[in-house]
Structure formats: C-alpha cells, structure tokens
Amino acid sequence: MYRYSDFDEAFTRARVAQFTQQVERRLSGALTEDEFRPLRLMNGLYLQLHAYMLRVAIPYGTLNSRQMRQLAHIADTWDKGYGHFTTRQNIQFNWPKLGDVPAILTALADVEMHAIQTSGNTIRNVTADHFAGAAADEIADPRPIAELLRQWSTDHPEFQFLPRKFKIAITGSPNDRAVTRAHDIGLRMVRQGDAAGFEVIVGGGLGRTPMIGQIINPFVTVDDLLPYLEAILATYNEAGRRDNKYKARIKITVFENGLDAFRAEVDRRFAELRPRFTLNRAFLAEIEAAFAPPAFRNAPVDAHLLALGNPAYADWAQTNLTEHRNAQYAIVTISLKAHGETPGDASSAQMRVLADLAQTYGHDELRISHEQNVILPHVHKGDLPAVWAALTEAGLATANVGLLSDIIACPGMDYCALATARSIPVAQALATHFRDLGLEQEIGALKIKISGCINACGHHHVGHIGILGLDRAGVENYQITLGGDATENAAIGERAGPGFAYDQIVPAIERLLRAYLDVRADAQETFADAFRRLGPDPFKEALYGTAARDAA
C-alpha cells in the first residue's frame, strides 16, 4: 500500500500546526467567524445542526488496519464512539468540539491521514472503484493514477479557488462502480492495443441540475493525463461562472459553452501545457510498486465449500462476495446497512473488528465504498468461514449487499444544516419494513438512494428508486424518482409525480415494489430491467392510481 512521502508528512504536519494556531486565535477572539470559516472549511471542519462535523479523506477509499484503529480511537476519544462513512469515500465525525479538532488532526497525521481539501472550491478527495486491484473484471489497478492525481491536486497553487468544488472519480474496470459519469471529471481506463489510457468524461454531476458527464476525449494516454487534466481545470477555472453559485460547476460551463467549444479550448491549452509536463516514469513505477498486489497464498478452499451448506453463510456468500482476480480469493463486502441501523455508520468496536480481520485475513487492506460499505479486497476463500463468524459476532454479517436495504442515505436533517428533510429514518424504516414483510430476497437487486435536499449527496438521481426529502410548507415531503442508474449506463431518474408525507413514503415504496413483483417477466428480471422494459406507467399507477381514483 502507498506510504506518504516525506513531503506529504511535512505538508500535513505544517497544515496541522497552522490550523492549531488558527483555532487558538478563533477561540481567543483574534479571528472573527468570517475570517475563520474559510480556514476551517479548508481543513474539513463544518458546522452542522447540533455540532461541528469533521470530514476526513480516505484517498481512493483505501485504508490499512492501523488507520482504521486510529479512526476508532478518535471516535472514542473526541467523538461519540462512532463514525459515518460517506458516498465520497470520506469518514465524518459528527460531534467534535472546536478546541479538540487540532488534537484529532494530529492523531490523523500520525497515521498519514488528514482532512485537507475535503471541503471548499478545490479538487476534492479523488474517489476510485472500491474493488480496485482486486476485481476480476479490471484492466489494471487505477489507484497509482489516483495517487498521482492526489499529489498533483493537493495544494495545487492554481486550483485552490476554483469557481466551485471539483470531484474526480476513477475506475480501471469496464463495469463502473465509481459513478464516473456523475463527477466533474470521470476517468475510465481503456486499452488501445497494448497501451492503457483513459476515457475522460467531463461535466457530470448531481445536485440541483443533474447531468450525465460527456466523453470529452475517448483516449488519453497515461503520459498525457496530467497535462490534459490541467488543461480542463485551467479552462474551467477561467470560463466557469463565479457570478452565480448555482451555475458554477463545470457541468454548467460545459453545458453553456457546448462540449465542442469547451473541448477546443481544452485542446488549445493542452498543446501549450504538454511540453511542460514530463511524466516521471521511475516515480510512477515506484507508486505502482507500492500498490502491487499482495503475495497471494496457494491453499485449499474446502472450508468455504463446506460452509456453503449452512444457509445463513450461503446467503451471505451469495450477496456479499464478489469475484476476485485470483480464483482462490474473494472480495468481501461488509454491509454497514444492518436493518434499522444508520447506513454507513460503524461503531469504534466494529472498526476494531474490521481492522483485526484485515490484519489477520485481508493482507491488511480495507476499502470504503461510495455505497457506504467496507470492503476486505483480498480474502482467501479458505478463510471466509472464519471471517464470516467474526463478522456475525460483531453484528456485521448482514447479507444484503445490492438488495433493497443496502440503501445510500445522506445525513439529512438529523445532522446537516442544509437539509430540507430527514433521510436516515426513511432508510431505517424501509429496511425494517421490507425485512418484516419478508420481501427483500424476493425483490432482489435494487438500488434505493436517499438525499435530504436538492444537493443530492445521497445520489438519489441515479438510484433505481431515488427519494428526495423536501420541505413543503413546513412539513417533510418525499419525492420519488424512477429509472436512475449509477453504472456505465448512467441515467438520471425521472420524477414520478407529487411527493409523499413522511408517514406515507414507506407505503408508497411498498405499492411500487408490489407492482414490480406483479409485472416482472420472471424472477430474473430486476426492478431496473422491468422499468426499462415497461416505462414508468405501471409504477406511476401503483403510486398514484388509487389516490387519483379516490379523488375523482
């Protein structure tokens, strides 16, 4: 796994020292809030409804056991014994006191972590396919490039005050698990002959104006990648609108200027910039070596095959395991979506179990997925029964990955100051309701995504079923979108119709899903497939038919 260079170490320590003084000056009264606010946001510190929140970056979603234990230590020492993993491969602590934040940042720096550029109009934490380096369907591990991007973007002098925040996602696999088409820039590894390069997608984003990114260049070589991205950022930095915060994201710049004009300007700048960049091959090779796959074991997998006789184990294996590039290994997704719990939350005790398992059985690697789960990317199949037993004991063996209750939910009005409604309790209620009905397995693959306001941090637009919480005349109201898709076939869901009250949203989703069970061709046809085949009408009828008839 990649280790910080001396430069990173010095930079992070210097930033902690700086921010420590800034906090002292704020507390002593030497800095006003107007002066302090941008400084705290540069260091990932937000003020929410009930407390401060510290957002910590997990670059390309990769952690080792020592880092996970330190997160547990922070949760116990300065927070309320848990952390919240988010859709951007960050962890958020919801209850830090302002005066404690310097100590937390020091504890993070001790394990090569930080909260830099997790906020503000900068290039944010670069997110990556959470199965990177392990997936059977992958061309190559995209994380060395993600690391290159991290180094390039961190404290980049020209890009600290962009028109708006800037999010980059990268995948090395044709099956997009990183939602690259809903990012400001998405990078998808492709091959041309022997050369690996990237398809560059630009102008995707969710929020108030959801847009699917467009391909600005079908193939950029690894050598050209940094100058090409620099050219996109420089074009956006100049052409992006600073007069209106709602029109400031690159998606609007591309949309208003047209992709062709935008591309022409990027190409012009690229021609200028290209000679100034030389990719240091030796340096990239060093990074690549640091991400080299672990020494895979050659051992019998009988224990796993035997355990499949246990139905609970078999269920879990069915939903929570993914094919690994090494046939003796599996990728284990650990669900942070136990029915009735908060999606993405892990207690400090659970974090320590995860760290122990990674150390004992997982080549010391952990991943955080944008779907708010934790992954052990490399587990030998012979060890799976032991891993499952330990997870079961820790309440972490929920067999629901990819099913209805594997819901993405943003913090919503339980924490977020921008929220217009709650999201977490809706996710909790949906999970327990369908479990109690016994319908979850029957319904099968389904992505429900919930946001507590139009900013769409919960990715509701790209959920098969999206739920958006709004404030309608002082009452929580939930709008449903249908037909979204977060994969390589990305699509923005369509609004189904008027919203539902807080106590009506679960019954509405039940009507919707019962209609799906009625109309699907067979048990293999997923909700998303049935929607694609039939269009919205049968589902709208299920949602509104009765109400409309009653009103008539």
Task: Give the interface with other proteins as residue ranges (CB under 8 A).
Answer: 26-27, 29, 32-33, 47-52, 80, 94-95, 97-99, 342, 345, 413-415, 419, 422, 424-425, 428, 471, 474-476
Residue 51 binding result from ligand HEM, ligand SF4, other proteins, none, given CB thresholds of 5 to 8 Å by partner type: other proteins
**416 lies in the binding site for ligand SF4 (CB under 6 A):** yes
Number of residues near ligand SF4 (by CB under 6 A):
13
Cβ proximity of 321 and 377 under 8 Å: no
Closest of 434, 449, 405, 444 to residue 525, by C-alpha: 444
Q: Looking at 85-93, 348-356, 438-446, 504-512, which segment touches ligand HEM (CB under 6 A)?
A: 85-93
Provide, rounded to whole angstroms, the least separation between the CB of residue 79 and ligand SF4: 18
Stretch (H or E) spanning 230: helix 222-239
Scan residues 422-451 and list those touching ligand SF4 (CB under 6 A): 451
- Would you count residue 410 as binding ligand SF4 (CB under 6 A)? yes
Asked if 463 touches ligand HEM (CB under 6 A), the answer is: no
Residue closer to ligand SF4 (CB basis): 446 or 456: 456
- C-alpha dist (Å) from residue 444 to 57, 219, 435, 520: 33, 36, 12, 12
**142: contact with ligand SF4 by CB under 6 A:** no
DSSP 25: H
Query: Exposed, middle or buried, 199 (CB in 10 Å: 0-12/13-18/19+)?
Result: middle
Question: Of the candidates 16, 23, 45, 53, which one interacts with ligand HEM according to CB under 6 A?
Answer: 53
Residue 71 is classified by DSSP as: H
Q: Which CB, 124 or 263, lies closer to ligand HEM?
A: 124
The reply to whether 408 sits near ligand SF4 by the rule CB under 6 A is: no
Q: What per-residue string of b and e applies to 294-317 under the rule 16 or more CB within 10 Å gives b?
A: beeeeeebeebeebeeeeebeebb
Separation of alpha carbons 130 and 375, rounded Å: 7
- Residue 183: partners with Cβ closer than 8 Å, 6 or more residues away: 127, 167, 168, 169, 201, 204, 205, 213
Q: Tell the smallest beta-carbon distance from residue 42 to other proteins (Å).
A: 17
Query: Beta-carbon neighbour count of residue 86 at 10 Å?
Result: 24
347 binds ligand HEM (CB under 6 A): no
Least distance CB 63 / ligand HEM (angstroms): 15
User: Does position 87 bind ligand HEM by CB under 6 A?
Assistant: yes
| C-alpha neighbours within 13 Å on the C-beta side of residue 139 | 19
Among 376, 456, 492, 505, binds ligand HEM (CB under 6 A): 456
- How many angstroms separate the CA atoms of 203 and 259, rounded? 9
Nearer to ligand HEM by Cβ, of 92 and 217: the residue is 92
Q: Which is nearer to ligand HEM, 344 or 385 (CB)?
A: 344
**Cα dist from 205 to 93, 168, 188, 242, 270, whole Å:** 25, 10, 16, 18, 24
Answer for which of 61, 343, 382, 411 binds ligand SF4 (CB under 6 A) is 411
Per-residue contact track with ligand SF4, 452 to 481, x per CB under 6 A?
xx-xxxx-----------------------
DSSP label of 211: B
75 binds ligand SF4 (CB under 6 A): no
- Residue 544, both tokens: 């509104």
Which CB, 120 or 343, lies closer to other proteins?
Answer: 343
Please spell the DSSP secondary structure of 509-527, one letter per residue.
Answer: HHHHHHHHHHH-SSTTS-H
Chain residues that interact with ligand HEM, rule: CB under 6 A: 46, 48, 53, 86-88, 90, 92, 164-165, 167, 205-207, 249, 410-411, 416, 418, 455-457
